[in-house]
Structure 1
């Protein structure tokens, strides 16, 4: 269930990112300040990635890195911004899902805790009721002993007496 939704979300992000990229390209063509901003982003990204690649491959990093031409820089900046947009939306969706799952789990745990608490309370109530019944039974036995009716509450003694009477008859 999650995998198809994930794929659908990725396709939706890609579909949304294309118009965003086209809009950014048009804005870079119309507004010189925005174009310069895009070029500076692309040049900085180009320098950083080139230095990282050179370090990874063990090449010298103190060499001068040639800047990108303006059109490639604008295209690279647009691609970078679109990728950041897609990454940000995907990250936000992931964070939202984790928080939703966390809230759902917390609700389940709270319901479980409440059920456990109710069971504990019921157990305590039953224990109290048993104790009260035990106390009442003791009072009845003492009352019966005082009134001479002790045989009524002792079934074993009464059964043996009835059994003896039945045998003797």
Structure 2
């Protein structure tokens, strides 16, 4: 029977739901007065960084960067927070899946070590049994040789002649 990958489906669902949740977070941040200043600062910072990177990648030196208007900075900051939320959720899921995979590998390794230890123990037991069997066989051969010699010894002693 094939098992459904419930964990993978759950992580996919969480990733899918993170986008509407990010929109909700952006909306809630934009509504509150205290967080608006924070979003404007983040928006200005992201604008500053992306503009510098664009100018540098074009091969020019940055002299000055015009700040964004408050609404544009607020929108850019909210977009950054939304994307950071989605990135954080996706990153957390990747870390969770990695830890789960590592645990599965560790369990598999432990199982292999236990199996190897069991086989080693069984091999030692078989070697001991083989040694006892060889000792018993040597004893049987010795007894058989002794009996053969006691039975055939008089016949051998009788034949002291030249041909028989």
TM-score in terms of structure 1 length: 0.77
Could you tell me which residue of structure 2 aligns to residue 25 of structure 1? 30
Could you tell me which residue of structure 2 aligns to residue 48 of structure 1? 49
- Which deviates further from its counterpart, 95-104 or 137-146? 137-146
Distance between the aligned counterparts of 2:71 and 2:150, measured in 1? Answer: 110
Distance between the aligned counterparts of 1:80 and 1:147, measured in 2? Answer: 99
Residue ranges of structure 1 left out of the alignment (5+ in a row): 152-169
Could you tell me which residue of structure 2 aligns to residue 76 of structure 1? 76
Distance between the aligned counterparts of 2:88 and 2:44, measured in 1? Answer: 22
TM-score in terms of structure 2 length: 0.79
| Bigger relative contact order, structure 1 or 2 (CA pairs below 8 A, ≥6 apart) | 2
> Once the 2 structures are TM-superposed, how far is the Cα of residue 40 of structure 1 from its aligned partner?
1.6
> Once the 2 structures are TM-superposed, how far is the Cα of residue 114 of structure 1 from its aligned partner?
1.1
- Do the aligned residues in 2 keep the contact of 1:38 with 1:73 (CA within 8 Å)? yes
Question: What is the aligned length?
Answer: 145
